[in-house]
Amino acid sequence: MKKFWCLFFIFWPLVAALSFIVAPARGWWFPGPAASPLGSQIDDLFYLILVIVSVTFVLVMAAMGYAVWRASHNTEKSNFTHGSHSLEVIWTIVPAGILLFIALYQLDVWAQYRVKGRFPKGVLTAPIAEVTARQFEWRMRYPAPDRKFANEADVQKWLRQPEPGDLHSVNDLHVPTGTPVLIYLRTQDVQHSFFVPMLRVKQDAVPGLVIPVWFEAINEAKNVNPQLQGVVHEWVCAELCGWGHYKMKARVVSQPAPVFRKYLADLQREELDDGAKGAAPVAVVPGRDADLSVAGKQPVGGQPAVNE
Amino acid sequence: MARATIPVRVRWLATAALCAVAASGCGKTPEAVFVSSKRTTDMIRPVQSRVEQAVAENFGTPQNLYASLRLPIDYGTAEGVVKEGGGAGSNHFTYEWTKPETAEQLKKVDLTGAAFVWDSGPNTNVTITRQRKDVPAEFQVIGYHPTEQSIELSINVPDNPEPGDKFRVIGFGMQSGRRLYMQHCMHCHGVSGDGNGPTARYLNPLPRDYRLGVFKFTSTSSRDKVSREDLHRIIRNGIPGTYMPSFLLLKDEELKAITEYVRWLAQRGEFESRLNAGLKDYSKPAIDEREKKGESRADVEKELTKAATSKEFIAEFDESIESAFAGLSRDWGRADEASSVIHPKSGRIDPVADAASIERGRKLYLSDKTKCASCHGLGGRGDGPQTTDVQKRSDGSEYDKPGLFDAWDKEIKPRDLTQGIYRGGRRPIDVYRRVYAGIKGTPMPSFNTALKENEIWDIVNYVLSVPYNGKAPPALKEAPVATTASTAEE
Ligand SMILES: [Cu+2]
């Protein structure tokens, strides 16, 4: 029985070590490579931490297995000892040191992502859109394509008071690729969370706050959807916000700047459509099935007539 | 009765649901059923069952839909010809699709369960005996093998199909429409489309009850039904300001299938209410009325029951079925004709070039000619005096509560125009159509006779300027192009 426990404790670090190596290498359970530069840095941090915890886990399990193995030869009755003072000091200081190292080491990435002063230059005054979460959808408000913001106060004014040239869409955020973009995130009701796994962005939308969130999407040629000429990133709500939470699935489409500008122009044309100039196409859905006109001739149906 | 049967293959779904329920331990899930409307259940028994039977015989059950071919619905139809029959008395043959361009697509569709119709050849008029009566046989596809290009039928054919015999497979679009509807819409709109799904009671406004055949946000004139394009647009974009979500990420063909299914549910409900329309005398309220006037209830019921089994009644009822079908096919067919869509002759007045337009619109909004303010309030906050008056029903009786009510007898508030949320869409043409045709099923009236086209545009400019402190979005400079390509391709 004692041997069993030794093997048991040795078995797990082996499984762990194997999966720590195989899973990232083969992409199991992973959301795929980051589609943004900051996302790659976040991934690097993730892998660093993964290495630290795997090494620690393997070492601890090995030590445990060894201790049990050694003790299994011991036939004496166990007795109480205080243990080792210096060992306790070591296993307190080493993890504390590791944690401190991680805390300091990630500061830079964290600051780039969260500290306004470290945001890429100019994004704060060139917002792509205001994104408003509500139960259970995301609503976009883009500034008019020719709207330039003089300074942050001007942006704040735009956030407080919608403007007639604004453009709107739902569950479909388009952004230019290859350049940092910024959205202002807010919620109309409860707390939601803006989560685009491929871009490694996650930010809670908090009632009463308007939170700037920036990211940069890099399109990889193999992911480009030819119809949209862009990459479609899955976008979900990551805060359990009510019974329809699962419905808050949307998409972020990153497109080359000219395609993005064309998207906005099309959106504007659609939004200002007055139905008179150039009639909109009438049949989005197939016209009435011509076959149906022969229905009268066609004796289909089997049960007795309605009233005998 | 012209129709075809589509049974469901939901067994695996039901099994999955049962397992889920067993795991969570909250009892058995009830089987999906189409429920009758209150007007039907208010009828005396024999009339009620007659109506229910007529609806069931023409529309089937959620598990076994009937595709009534007299309705203007695209059930999903594929035409083909026989390549080689499997012999007399067999149930299989090989085929070729008539339209080669659809052949690739049809490979991916599951045709099992769809209805099957012979259009030529020896099997066209096959009958089977049922309830002591010969009736046309209902063929169904029970096996579909696109790689071998062969089809198996539910009934053996008496004669060997000859090469070149024409046939149609009907209903696969409906099957996918139903599957998607049950997955995405049922929990709000209900199995029957009665707006009474399990989550409906948490919502305000309530999910649409399709059964009146009335839809609010249409591009068609006030006497016309909703068009396919309108439904497609609403389902794709959702209804801002309500719990009706956007289904933008569904594929286009999925949206089309759901649209047809919603149209079918609406027509099913309307069929039922058209049958009921002529039967008011047989309903509980009518009997109550007569009882109040001093007649004995038992006598009245006896008299009505007798009347309801008479030959004349049955003949009349059969006629009402015919005219219900004729009406549905006419009205729903017309909604998709280009001439039903409201298109202003001249474009929108540019509120920047003609700065007085908004002010003219404001005056019209406040005027006695439109009475917009009587509902929407002087400042557009939706608090006009009509919202506190006691209103009358269409039959002249008064509501017991003050306020406005809609066709579904639910309290309704005029929109707060300062919010800038337009449920039917924010394009100027959307707002134009709301004012031109009114909002169907709500007290918001149509103004196409009271106002001239340029007056409506002035009002639209005013309405669009309310959320922006008096500035309206600019007018369109160029011609609109077709909506941007944005269908999700997984
Ligand atoms: Cu949410």
Note whether A23 and A7 are same-domain residues: yes
CA trace torsion B427, B429, B432, B434 (10° rounding) = -70
A292, pLDDT greater than 70 = no
Distance A272 CA to ligand 1 centre (A): 30
Partners of B256 on chain A (C-beta within 8 Å) are 285-286
Residue B292 Cα to ligand 1 midpoint, Å, equals 54
Assess if residue A144 is contained within a domain: yes
Q: Give chain A positions within 8 Å (CB) of B464.
A: 164
Q: Is A249 part of the contact surface with chain B (CB cutoff 8 Å)?
A: yes
3-state secondary structure chain B: CCCCEEECCCHHHHHHHHHHHHHHCCCCCCCCCCCCCHHHHCECHHHHHHHHHHHHHHHEECCEEECCCCCCCCCCEEEEEEEEECCCCCCEEEEEECCHHHHHHHHHCCCCCCEEEECCCCCCCCEEEECCEEEECCEEEEEEECCCCEEEECCCCCCCCCCCCEEEEECHHHHHHHHHHHHHCHHHHCCCCCCCCCCHHHCCCCCCCHHHCCCCCCCECCCCCCCHHHHHHHHHHCCCCCCCCCCCCCCHHHHHHHHHHHHHHHHHHHHHHHHHHCCHHHEHHHHHHHHHCCCCHHHHHHHHHHHHCCHHHHHHHHHHHHHHHHHHHHHHHHHCCHHHECCCCCCCCCCCCCCHHHHHHHHHHHCCCCCHHHHHCCCCCCCCHHHCCECECCCCCECCCCEEECCCCCEECCCCHHHCCCCCCCCHHHHHHHHHHCCCCCCCCCCCCCCCHHHHHHHHHHHHHHHHCCCCCCCCCCCCCCCCCCCCCC
Residue A298 lies in a domain: no
**What is the B218 CA–ligand 1 centroid distance (Å)?**
29
**In chain B, what residues touch A275 (CB-CB under 8 Å)?**
342-344, 427-429, 432-433
Q: Is residue A166 part of a domain?
A: yes
**Contact yes or no for B53 and A306 at CB 8 A:** yes
Interface contact flag, A301 B243, Cβ < 8 Å: no
Residue A14 lies in a domain: yes
Residue whose structure tokens are 């992973």: A30
Position B487 confidence tier, pLDDT thresholds 50, 70, 90: very low
Q: In the structure encoding, which two tokens stand for residue B153, read together?
A: 């039928």
Provide the residue ranges of all domains of chain B, joining segments of one domain with +: 77-170, 177-339, 342-487
Evaluate if residue A284 carries a pLDDT over 50: no
pLDDT, averaged across chain A: 85
For chain B, say whether A276 makes contact (Cβ under 8 Å).
Answer: yes
Residues A34 and A142 in one domain: no
Q: What are the phi and psi torsion angles at B447 (to 5°)?
A: -120, 20
Residues of A in contact with B349 (CB under 8 A): none
Q: Collect contacts of A3-7 with beta carbons under 8 A, ≥24 apart.
A: A3/A72, A5/A68, A6/A65, A6/A68, A6/A69, A6/A72
Backbone phi, psi, residue B105, to 5°:
-60, -45
Is A272 buried (19+), middle (13-18) or exposed (0-12) by CB count in 10 A?
buried
**Which pLDDT value is given to residue B27?**
55
Q: Which of A136, A245, A300 to mutate to probe the B interface, most B CBs <10 Å? A: A300
Domain co-membership, A135 together with A94: no
Superfamily of domain B342-487: Cytochrome c-like domain (1.10.760.10)
CATH match for B77-170 among 1.10.150, 2.40.30, 1.25.40, 1.10.3470 = 2.40.30
> Do residues A46 and A144 share a domain?
no
Contact B486 A228 (CB under 8 A): yes
Q: A-B interface: how many C-beta pairs under 8 angstroms?
A: 213
**Contact indicator for B265, B210 with CB cutoff of 8 Å:** yes
Q: Which residues from chain B sit within 8 angstroms of residue A172, using beta carbons? A: 248, 486
Q: How far apart are alpha carbons A172 and B484 in whole angstroms?
A: 12
A280 located within any domain: no
C-alpha span between B249 and B180 (Å, rounded): 13
A253 with A134, same domain: the answer is yes
Same domain, A65 and A157: no
In this predicted model, what pLDDT tens digit does every residue of B28-63 receive, in sequence order? 667 899 999 999 999 999 999 999 999 998 999 998
Distance from the CA of B198 to the center of ligand 1, in angstroms? Answer: 20
pLDDT tens digits, one per residue of A182-218: 999 999 999 999 999 999 999 999 999 999 999 999 9
| Chain A residues touching residue B131 (CB < 8 angstroms) | 304
Q: Phi first, then psi: what are they for A280, rounded to 5°?
A: -65, 150
In tens, the pLDDT along A2-59 reads 778 778 878 888 888 888 888 888 888 888 889 999 999 999 999 999 999 888 888 8
Same domain, residue pair A97 and A186: no
Average pLDDT over residues B295-302: 91
Q: What pLDDT shows up at residue B19?
A: 56
Domains B77-170 and B342-487 share a fold: no
Residues A96 and A130 in one domain: no
Q: Using the structure block, give the residue that is written with the tokens 């959320």.
A: B467
Same-domain check for residues A177 and A258 = yes
Query: Is A281 an interface residue toward B (CB < 8 Å)?
Result: yes
Question: Which residues, 6+ apart, have CB-to-CB distance to A244 below 8 Å?
Answer: A135, A136, B199, B243, B245
Q: What integer is the mean pLDDT of B313-338?
A: 94
Q: What is the mean pLDDT of residues A79-89?
A: 85
Give yes or no for residue A267 having a pLDDT over 90: yes
Mutation to test the A interface, candidates B130, B481, B489, most A Cβ within 10 Å? B481
* Residue B370, min C-alpha distance to chain A (Å): 22
Structural domain boundaries, residue A193: 125-274
Q: What is the 3-state secondary structure (H, E, C) of A243-287?
A: CCHHHCCEEEEEECHHHHHHHHHHHHHHHCCCCCCCCCCCCCCCC
On whether both A207 and A268 belong to a single domain, the answer is yes
For residues A111 and A213, membership in a common domain is answered with no
- For residue A241, what is the domain's CATH number? 2.60.40.420
What's the total number of domains in chain A? Answer: 2
A132 shares a domain with A110:
no
Reduced to 3 states, what is the DSSP secondary structure of residue A28?
A: coil
- Residue B481: band (very low, low, confident or very high) from pLDDT cuts 50, 70, 90: very low
Q: Does an H or E element contain A59, and which?
A: helix A37-72
Looking at the DSSP assignment, which residues form a beta bridge with residue B264?
none
Contact B199 A243 (CB under 8 A): yes
C-alpha B232 to ligand 1 mean position (Å): 25
Region of poorest pLDDT, from A104-118, B110-124, B349-363: B110-124
The answer to whether B98 and B165 are in contact (CB under 8 A) is no
Residues of B in contact with A267 (CB under 8 A): 484
